[in-house]
Structure 1
Amino acid sequence: MTHNAIIVDDEEFARSSLYFLLQENCENINISGIAKSVAEARNLLSQHPIDLIFLDIAMPGENGFELIKDAKESNAHVIFITAYDQYALKAIKANALDYLLKPIDIDELKLAVEKANDYISLKKNGLDRNDNLQNLAQQLHERTEIRKISLPNGQGYSLTSISDIVHIAADSNYSIFYLVNGERITVSKVLKEYEEILPENQFIRVHKSSIINLDYVSEYNSKNGLEVTLKNGDRIAVSRRRASDFLEKVKSYTSFESEK
């Protein structure tokens, strides 16, 4: 049985690569449309009967969670596409049809589609899909066990451990990741998206153009305005309006570390 599907992702490479993989490996999936935002996805859902949505989570404007209500109303099922690693998803995998971790593995894609095909075809009774999706959204949103994120680099993705991120700097509509090994990765996403994704107990936005990893703070002083020195030698200014939040976060973080 053929199922109609849409792909929702703000990254052109992600959209095109997933489309190609589905065309080449999943003959029972008919791609009825491709959207680069939740708003475009809603329009597709209103125009076509859709069985399955391949849905990215982190997108500018509305994120993937905000399409869940529309998925329910359209009787569409969701496979999430995410940069969260397998540890964060273990606890919630039972609540979803499945998920795809960027960069997408072909075998995992096939298994996810097979699972979706079985679920949709059998039309199991007694399972409230919306409750499952809401549980998935809530548990992913809590992001308590994130260990890695996937950073689009133009040719594909760099799978990066968050513990290796020293700080992130904004550059117009781009974000530059400074890693502990000295590498820099430039990503075509704004800083706010990573502020929402990264664990707030470890990362803090200290300036409109800077997020730092508290693990790498070596000192801070207010000699010339509040400034943080990181273990790699980089100096990051802390804006006046974020100073009190930073100091509170450092205090809490230091207390937490000393209790370990």
Structure 2
Amino acid sequence: MKILIIEDEARIAKRIERMTRDFFDKEVQILLSDSIENGLNTIENQSIDLLLLDLNLNGEDGFEVLQNIVAKSFQTIIISAYTDKAITAFNYGVLDFVPKPFDETRLVQAFMRFTSTEGKDSHEIQFLAVKKAKTIKLITIKDIRYIKGAGIYTELYLSDGRVELHDKSMESLEKLLPKTFERIHKSYILCWQEAEKLVIEAGGRYNMLLKNGELLPVGRSKYKEIRQKLI
């Protein structure tokens, strides 16, 4: 696992590094960066799994980093004293916001959210970002009907019929999406408001009929849980 810490105060950066190693393991690779420029260069040239980002870097705004990497495949945890920016950060799809001053217990909570397979239970994001050529395009969460796995990527199926490719995996999106989204199959996450009814086919196959007439497969292990929600 490779983790990037962008923090301009060396003492705090070392403290975060120590806590990070204590939680994960001594073999985790940790990269340190003390500026926006160095951080963005590292992100461009390294494949990372988790970003720990301060929002005030020698007077520079860490949101510049966030805006540049919001469509990347890795997760981001903000560690900042600027708690007034928390809502905006969550809107950009960060996994957690750890306010400074922080202790190890609070940082561990953020790490547990990163390692958990559970969805996020608060701070619902407002949009997902997708890369279009050299620009970032924001997709409003309420416009997403369902999400389909596409290898290490995902496809966002939108209410206007468009399909957008997203860099984050199904597992990463499950941690970010609000509870209105349900994993119904290993390859599908559905906006629950789109569900009409379960359909049982010959051979014991299960499908979800959507309000627009589409059928999506339902995993056998998910059938009973989903049936209960539809009652």
| Structures share fold, TM-score greater than 0.5 | yes
Q: 1:37 aligns to what?
A: 48
Matches within 5 A, 1:109-258: 128-130=101-103, 134=107, 137=110, 141-199=120-178, 201-224=179-202, 225-251=205-231
Q: Quote the Cα distance in structure 1 between the aligned partners of 2:91 and 2:125.
A: 13
Post-superposition Cα deviations, 1:213-253, rounded to whole Å, max 9, x if no partner, equal 111112222134211111233210101011122223334xx
Report the CA distance shift for 1:93/1:59 in structure 2 as closer, same or farther (over 3 A). Answer: same
Q: Secondary structure at the match of 1:226?
A: strand
Instruction: Give the superposition deviation at 1:100.
Output: 9.2
Larger % of strand: which? 2
Is the CA contact 2:90–2:124 (under 8 Å) kept in the aligned structure 1?
no
Corresponding residue SS for 1:143: coil
Q: Percent identity?
A: 20
TM, length-normalised to structure 1: 0.50
Whether the aligned pair in 2 keeps the contact of 1:4 and 1:30 (CA below 8 Å) is no
> Deviations along 1:7-49, whole A, 9 cap, x unmatched?
xxxxxxxxxxxxxxxxxxxxx866276144157x79xxxxxxx
* Counterpart in the other structure of 1:123: none
In the alignment, structure 2 segments of 5+ residues that lack a partner are 1-7, 14-34, 94-99, 115-119
1:106 match: none
Distance (whole Å) between structure 2 residues aligned to residue 158 and residue 250 of structure 1:
34
Which amino acid in 2 is paired with 1:143? S
1-structure distance, mates of 2:135, 2:190? 25
Provide the rounded CA distance (Å) in 2 between the counterparts of 1:100 and 1:226: 35
Q: Distance in 2 between matches of 1:206 and 1:187?
A: 19
| 2:101 partner letter | D
Separation in 2, partners of 1:220, 1:142: 26
- In structure 2, do the counterparts of structure 1 residues 135 and 233 end up closer, same or farther at CA, with 3 Å as the change threshold? same
Q: CA deviation at 1:212?
A: 0.7
Partner of 2:5 in structure 1?
Answer: none
Q: What is the Cα deviation at residue 146 of structure 1?
A: 2.7
In structure 2, how many angstroms separate the alpha carbons of the residues matched to 1:222 and 1:30? 55
For the residue of structure 1 that corresponds to 2:226, the secondary structure is: helix
Note the residue ranges of structure 1 that are not aligned, 5 or more in a row.
7-27, 43-49, 69-77, 81-91, 104-126, 252-260
CA distance in 2 between counterparts of 1:162 and 1:29 reads: 28
- State whether residues 4 and 29 of structure 1, in contact with CA within 8 Å, keep that contact through their aligned partners in structure 2: no
TM-score under structure 2 normalisation? Answer: 0.56
Alignment of 1:52-71 (within 5 A): 63-65=75-77
